[in-house]
Amino acid sequence: MSLNLLDEKVWKKFSKDEKRVNGNYVNLMGADLEELAGVDVKRLQHLAAILRGFIFAAVEAGQSGHPGGSSAKVEQLLALVLGENLAFDPINPKNPGRDRIIWSAGHCTPGLFAMNSLIYEILRRSGRQFSEAAVQPVLPEHLLRFRHSDGPQGHAEGHYPLADTSTGPSGHGLSGAGGMAIVHKSCGLPTKVYVMMGDAESEEGMTYEARNVLAATGTDNIIVSLDYNHFGIDGPIEEAMNSTYIDHWRGMGWNMIEVDGHNVLEVLYAYRLAPKIFNNSRPTVVICHTLKGKLYGSKENTAASHGAPIKHDEYIEVMKNLGFDIPGIPKEVMKDIEVILKNISPEDEKYVLEKLDIGAKKIKPESELVRQMAVTLGNRALVNPTSLRRPDTLPPELIFEEGSKVATRKAAGAWYKWLMGQTAFFYAGAGDLGGSIVTAPAENMYGLITAKNPLGRGIRFGIAEQNMAMMSATLTQDILPGGFHPVSVFGTYAVFTTMIGNCVRLAVINNHLYPAHKGFFIMYAAHDGPETGEDGPTHQGLYWMSLYNAIPGIKVYKPMDANEMVEMLFYALEKGEPIALSAMRPDTPVIKRGGDVPPAMAATWGAYVYKPFKENDKQKTVLVICGAQMLFNTLEILPNLEKNYDVKIICVTSPELFEELRHTNERVAQQVLPDHERELVVALHNGWKGFLYPFMLPKNYEKRSVCIDTYLKSGNVEEVYEVAHLTPAEIEQKILNAIIK
């Protein structure tokens, strides 16, 4: 007798079988499952052949791509999209009330585009109108230009229907999906986040970090569909992961359902059961046992199917085995696609349209979802963070007394706490350093997100910098019902930010590819410079900014004092462009302003004149200084320099902002540093000398750079500056060596 496990009585009886159900583990493999009302398994199997035909044709056309994982995931895609599981409207694929799909296996675009081709070809045939420009679907004819500059791209990008962020590097997608899922649950939304993932990705350390955090935060609205085909690119995953595979998930507290990934009914049951049967505030993974390169000829069930096409003659044979009597003329793949299209019958069209209509109806009206958020979040402000502006009169907690000593990290922490109180859509976390880098006050305002406190806004990432960055950056690229756009800050010591560079790179690439969903985040590089002295060279953040200077779409901000920190954060929020924010650990003097020294807001120019020339008859020199301690060490010896030189001092807070100023307001930029003064510049930085190269002439880079170009030792601030040969006396001598002709 077949079983309908969606029936409560049947499920209760089935769950008593300890071989099938054990706590948070369910095994559906080989279970005698009853077909479900409205589900036509034979038709889905026929549509599986259609999808594989599109997949193999796309790879043949491009002579490039990833057929292995794509073909393995076909039944998963069908069960998800056409199995009455997914809240999705193909006419409005970015409806904010939809369920999200993240392709952690971002290389499986042949599968993504095959599903697009099936859906939008059928919509086109049915006469249903959709705007190609707005929807940006992949149609069958587009497959001919797969992996070409004018065609569907090689990895998943967030603007495509059924893909909700740009992915590619293995393992990153799970973390990104986790960030979105955390936001949705913490706002009281009923939406789910599905992750299409490959088994080899579990080798990536970031996925371990994500599995931990998602279990700890009680993020039960995420469902991972994991393609367990045993192969990576180079060979079996067991060569890298020798322990029992399911323990890598179940051992971290995840719910688990095992299925035959090519049995579409088992997969469909798993997706329907996942949100209903566990009720334990844990995420769920559906382990789908599959064959890599399913039905892809000689490469089926091999690592070789991962990213290489079969030979043309074998391609013809494979397609005919799928039921497509293609002509197989080299470089005329459209004729093959036309054969596939002829195999989509009117009955297929009707079935697909019915299932898509059911998926669209699962999306709740946006107004209802906004009301639901408002009720859930109570009196929290439903305000887009990037719509907030600097108050004309700053609150007292964001004003720091001139002449007092305040660490810039403390000013940043005060601003984060202020922002947390202004919007319901700000998230804060740190790599086990919240107290040290002062994100904790913001994290604790609504508490850490846990199963018992799902509406918190702090995320305890632990020592897991990569996952922290990917989660926090990706969550800013989602738009919630009502148009609300979350933002985040995630922090660690500056020296450790190089570990998360790829996550930040991927996030800003997504901003570039999908500007409609561009996200704002603060990558918080705390304890910057040699001032983190006692911990020695492993903790002294001296060179990290070189990476972020090189990545388009993010700028490095390095305020000189606490008041500049506040002004630069307000400026960044208004611009909405991600920043890498430097903050110092020790208390340093808050600059006294007035007279020649401009207001702290001048820091948003990227550079400002701290002290102008006296315009006497002495030889002129321009000191371009970055780093508060460098400024105050230089001011100690300024009287000595001025005995023989007319000295101008420029404080630098962001070379990239200053370069931008040169394009947007050349008049102000020339007032700060006229072109003819560049040959007079001596650059002083308590870190990488290349940071200040934009202020110099190329011929002066080496001779006129006063910086730190090696690793230091442990010591207090004074001792470390001695080791770096940047005491006031040594700075004076280096300046003189640079300017003496």
Q: What is the pTM of this model?
A: 0.96
Q: Which residues contact 627 (CB under 8 A, 6 or more apart)?
A: 529, 558, 560, 684, 685, 686, 687
Instruction: Give the whole-number percent of the chain exceeding pLDDT 70.
Output: 100
Q: Which residue's structure tokens are 């003097």?
A: 589
The architecture of the domain spanning 40-364 is 3-Layer(aba) Sandwich (3.40)
Q: Which is higher by pLDDT, 702 or 557? A: 557
Residue-level pLDDT at 242? 87
The DSSP line for 294-331 is TT-GGGTTSGGGSS-PPPHHHHHHHHHHTT------TT
Please give the structure tokens belonging to residue 728: 């006031």
pLDDT digits (tens, 9 = 90+) for 550-574: 999 999 999 999 999 999 999 999 9
d(C-alpha 629, C-alpha 276), whole Å: 58
Residue-level pLDDT at 741? 67
Q: Tell me how far apart the 2 most distant CA atoms of the chain are, in Å.
A: 102
Closest CA to 194 of 134, 278, 105, 116: 105
Closest CA to 53 of 32, 71, 30: 71
Residue-level pLDDT at 520? 98
User: pLDDT tier at 171 (50, 70, 90 boundaries)?
Assistant: confident
HSE, side-chain direction, 13 A CA sphere, residue 597: 10
Query: What's the Cα-to-Cα distance from 641 to each of 295, 617, 626, 728, rounded to whole Å?
Result: 78, 14, 19, 11
Average pLDDT over residues 159-176: 93
Domain ranges, ordered by start, for the chain: 40-364, 385-588, 607-739
What fold, for 385-588? Rossmann fold (3.40.50)
Residue-level pLDDT at 170? 85
Q: What is the mean pLDDT of the chain?
A: 96
Residues 547, 549, 552, 557: is their CA dihedral positive or negative? positive
Q: Which residue's structure tokens are 């989509």?
A: 344
Same fold flag, 385-588 and 607-739: yes
pLDDT digits (tens, 9 = 90+) for 36-90: 999 999 999 999 999 999 999 999 999 999 999 999 999 999 999 999 999 999 9
**pLDDT of residue 627 exceeding 90:** yes
**pLDDT of residue 192 exceeding 90:** yes
pLDDT digits (tens, 9 = 90+) for 516-546: 999 999 999 999 999 887 888 888 989 999 9
User: pLDDT tier at 708 (50, 70, 90 boundaries)?
Assistant: very high
pLDDT digits (tens, 9 = 90+) for 383-423: 999 999 999 999 999 999 999 999 999 999 999 999 999 99
Asked if the 607-739 domain carries CATH number 3.40.50.1370, the reply is: no
pLDDT digits (tens, 9 = 90+) for 262-272: 999 999 999 99
Closest CA to 706 of 675, 737, 677, 671: 737
